[in-house]
Amino acid sequence: MDWDEMSAKWMQFKGSVKQQWAKFTDDDLDYIGGTRDRLVGRLQEKYGVSQEEAERRADEWFRTQKNPAA
């Protein structure tokens, strides 16, 4: 699965994101919409981390996700 697929199936992954990052609101999740850059930006904003750290966290979370259709 790649980020394009994540974006298309975002509704199925929102719960996992909310479990991982409890500071995200429903509005944040709607804004992110499965887009890596938006997730990274919200991680920086909500958790006060650098862009590199936010990218690392986003990519680490992404690697742990299974394709819900599989």
Domain, as residue range, for 35: 3-64
Q: Which residues contact 25 (CB under 8 A, 6 or more apart)?
A: none
**In the chain, how many domains are there?**
1
pLDDT digits (tens, 9 = 90+) for 12-30: 999 999 999 999 999 999 9
3-class DSSP state of 63: helix
pTM exceeds cut of 0.85? yes
Please indicate, yes or no, if residue 26 is contained in any of the structural domains: yes
User: For residue range 30-44, what is the model confidence (pLDDT) as tens digits?
Assistant: 999 999 999 999 999
Q: Tell me the CATH number at 10.
A: 1.10.1470.10
Burial (CB < 10 A; 0-12, 13-18, 19+), residue 15, is exposed
Q: Are 23 and 47 in contact (CB under 8 A)?
A: yes
Task: Note the Cα 33 to chain centre separation in Å.
Answer: 8
